[in-house]
Structure 1
Amino acid sequence: MLDKETISYEKAILVGIITQNQSEEKLNEYLDELQFLTYTAGGEVVKRFKQKMDKPNPKTFVGTGKLEEIESYVIENKIDTVIFDDELTPAQQKNLSKLLEAKVLDRTNLILDIFAQRAETSYARTQVELAQFQYLLPRLTGMWTHLERQRGGIGMRGPGETEIETDRRIVRDRIALLKEKLRTIDKQMAVQRGNRGALVRVALVGYTNVGKSTLMNAVGKSEVFVEDKLFATLDTTVRKVVIKNLPFLLTDTVGFIRKLPTQLVESFKSTLDEVREADLLLHVVDISHPEFEDHIESVNQILKEIKSDDKQTIMIFNKIDKYQPEFFDVEDLMIERSTKHYSIDEWKNTWMNKVGENNAIFISATEKENFEEFRHKVYDAVRDIHLTRFPYNNFLYPEYEDAFEKEEDSE
């Protein structure tokens, strides 16, 4: 294993704007996440630049003065990469690439790059490649000369480093080919889903890095890759799980994120089909994250977009072992007590108490805290679904075994 000192990180700066629709507090949250994304991709953030504007500058995203400030800092500090929090238009990316002596990326580009790193199977790589080409197509005019100047590193994985001379026609042909390849694989996967039989399907959904794969490993005894970085898992994993004597299928899906690139939603259609076809969703939430309520809203929005927001759902509030409320000084009259000061028990008495007939559970997947309660709640939900689907198949459950044997004896 490499020592931390031997790992080379690209020096990066982040750029974001404060607008009427995005407060400074909200921007800071997004930049915190962008910094974690940058770290996941192999970069080290050395500075953040923020500007208050009514709306982004259509030519350069930020204003002229702020751009000059960024340009000076990039040159003086030998910055490798400049990352913008919002998706840049092709014109903005072209102009910024000409003006700044560094790679220019936006949030979408960065997420696509992380996906390119994390894609292990041929299917995942095809999905990511399609999303990358769809992102690159409108940006071809000014991007290839920029890419030619930069070799490797964040944002340069995938088609960008091997297709520098590609024109629009070839890229469109490649997109068509990848779509056809995905359609073929999608049909194969649909057949596989059909061949899984009548078992109840349960899907883990949630924001990225909330502990879905850890929970999958704990419940399903599988070996899904787990790491404290964003998008550690890209490939869908399906395991047959048995709780007590009840078998069901448990699926680990790719994590969601705010401002999820539309290209990824389209190219990861089959992965999302696992969610669409699930009978029960386990919405995993990292309660130790200060913005977990925003994460829940983001996941619910994506579930709505893929028409899965009406499915039966159990909320799994994970990482209770890491949850630390902020200290509240009752004598400090300047500070008003808020949800950031709540204990777990206080949170339980908020809106969480009203989640679908008390369909909420607080656990630690790593420490197995409250795990038996979690297993019991999932068992009850899966059992109810199975009984609804197969009302005459009750012999699967212990409480019906005696009655079933007596019925056979009487015959």
Structure 2
Amino acid sequence: MKSVLMKSGGVGLSVSLNRGPYQNNGASPWYAFVGVGTPAQTLKFSFDTGSNFIWATSSLCHPETCHHYGDQQFVYQISSSFSWVNQHTTDVNFGPWGNMDVKTGNDVFTLTPESLGRMENGSVSLSSDLYLAESYQGTQFRELDWDGGIGIPSTNDRSDFSSLGQPYRGMTPQRGSEAASFHFFQSLVEQGIVSAKRPYVTFLTDIDSESGQVEFGQLNQDYRDSREYLFLPWQSYSIPSVSYIWTSQLTSLSVGDKVLIHEGKSLTPYFFSLDSGSSQFKGDPKIMNEVFSLTSKNGQDVIIELGKTDRNENGRLVVPSSIYDVLIEHGEDRGKTISQFSPLDGLDNLVLVGSVLMDYLYTVYEYEIISFGSESRIKPVGMWIFNKLNGPKIITSTQGKPAKIFHIL
């Protein structure tokens, strides 16, 4: 287990990430070790910007279900701090993965430095509701490198995703006396661990060392003077049931010279999303099937335009085959190199991507914190992406000035 570093006084929290084997199931191989319950049970969790709930594989699972590569489960019976919220079985929709049957509890999540030499500030503990999985099945789950997920949605407002529709990875309204409530990042702000002046969640990973960091309320100062970045303003995705994902409007997408999406030729807007819980490019079935076919045949660059530079030019990403063609390290397709574009039924006009692209970027999710007395409400501002230092130049457009987030603190 790698250490988790904690700084107090509202200066933020830095959590180490570990990388499991890349499997062709669409889920990120990255996870963090997090303690659940009292005493803390160490499980592998994804910090997931593509979901709006917290869940864990649990001791409710039957012997024939809940098989996954991460291979651990939360044993709620031995946690003295555990309590039930709702013991009715609820169906949670994982989109193309299938469904998960869960019951709802509440317990303590602990991020603790491993080394006693780092314990002077104590540990970070948050109480939260969580879904305890009692059943899930399928190849995608079997190839999952983590034991659970901690959602970091763009919004926690239930009215944003209570309408009918096909969720992506979204919580389902519960029957019974009490519904679940998930506010991980908001709780970090309310406890003073993250300052309302630095409402950021950032990801930076390194494939070669199989290590990385997710930071809450901190910015990596190595990128302070970078001109190789884009700001992607948050715009709500047109399907209300998944409006909690982080999206920004997409201008165009091409494979080589073939234009597949163009803002001026579409009756409805297309959206782009960075999902830290995913790996592949996913989304609109027609678009993804065509991109997969073209990239598998000719290996041409995928060119994405979105956002604006401070010179009012379209932002531009160029994704070569060396990034989207990925060697599958474990699971059904082990040993194959596969173009990572996959259709998702029901998510029309969406291009979503996770670690396949994020591994080559420094990514910042920015919130605005709105206070109501002692409580806070989070509101999405947008995503910032930077070319990694000494990495490939994915972002080919440049800016005239450094990113303002480094200069307004």
TM-score, normalisation: structure 1: 0.28
Larger fraction in helix: 1
TM-score under structure 2 length normalisation: 0.28
Query: Which has the higher relative contact order, 1 or 2, with Cα contacts under 8 A spaced 6 or more apart?
Result: 2
Q: Greater strand share, 1 or 2?
A: 2
Rg larger in structure? 1
